[in-house]
Amino acid sequence: MEVLLNVGQLIIGFAILIVGGEALVRSAISIAIRVKVSPLVIGLTIVAAGTSAPELITSVLASLKGSPDIAVGNVIGSNIFNILAILGIASLVRPNLIERSLKRFEIPALIGFSLLFYLAGFDEVILRWEGALGLVISVAFLWYAVRRAKAQGAALDSEEDVDVLKNVYYDMGFLIVGMLALAGGAQLALTAGETLGRLAGLSERVIGITIISIGTGLPELATSAVAALRGRNDIAVTNVIGSNIMNTLIVVGTTAVITPINISKQLIEVDAIWMIGVTLLLVPICMKPKSTIDRYTGSSLLVVYLIYLATLL
């Protein structure tokens, strides 16, 4: 009975996370359209921030509850899940193109930030000053990325490209509902996920990398899959890249500033290496003709994710 109750709580928590992420993303996109910014900017910053909110809230709560392996495992697991599972599934829905701008700047930046995360956690602790440095880097990166994207990309010419809400009051309403739903859903999912994982004999590391990271990755999955279905690879792909950057810099940075994060040796020596290796897989994809993530490549990414899960379990 206890297992069934926790499974129900986990499902409800994930469902609330999806609703909250969807509400936050719709609000963010609607606001972006009103100020006329490009789809690349929307996907890289606003949509990525909205879909990364569950990871942020969940990692902060886990750290405050004294579960640092869940906090860090959530980030590492989410970054791996985003590239392998989300890009894989989105590309099965419809082949996606990696924009030239992403190849030249954002993807190399993501690789660099992943290496910085590894170096920061090499001594098995991320201190407050390291977290603060990550936040400063994130602000500088986003400022430059937005300026660069605005200079290179065309703004949205109409509201037909992406759904826009009725008026600014709807924007704010969806924003508030989204934030509240994310906070509540994260708390429910975290509590149920921890309980189920422990009942199954899983370590906090595995719980964070699997149950929690997949749950908090559902908004990214829903957003990228729907964007791919609508033929908006500018949002489908940049959402993943932007989310991973925000996870690495903002989620880890904010959590560490609130309380220093102790990281287990296995997370750094095994899972962080997997995260870096998975991120480096984007390089040969970018070198393909037209840099397309076709259905064959998407299937290959999903197979790699299943192999990673098999190594954990």
In a domain? residue 28:
yes
- Across 45-59, 84-98, 164-178, 232-246, the highest mean pLDDT is recorded for 84-98
Which of these, 19, 41, 18, lies nearest to 31 by C-alpha position? 41
In a domain? residue 295:
yes
In a domain? residue 286:
yes
Which of these, 4, 18, 241, lies nearest to 141 by C-alpha position? 241
Among the ranges given (49-63, 223-237, 258-272, 285-299), the one the predictor scored with the smallest mean pLDDT: 223-237
Residue 140 domain boundaries = 2-154+164-312
In a domain? residue 128:
yes
CATH number of domain containing 307: 1.20.1420.30
Residue 42's pLDDT band, with cuts at 50, 70 and 90, is low
pLDDT in tens, 206-233: 888 888 888 777 777 777 776 677 666 6
Domain count of the chain?
Answer: 1
In a domain? residue 159:
no
In a domain? residue 173:
yes
In a domain? residue 131:
yes
Contact between 138 and 243 under an 8 Å Cβ cutoff? The reply is no
Contact between 125 and 262 under an 8 Å Cβ cutoff? The reply is yes
pLDDT in tens, 168-195: 788 788 878 877 887 777 678 767 877 8
Q: What is the DSSP letter of 294?
A: -
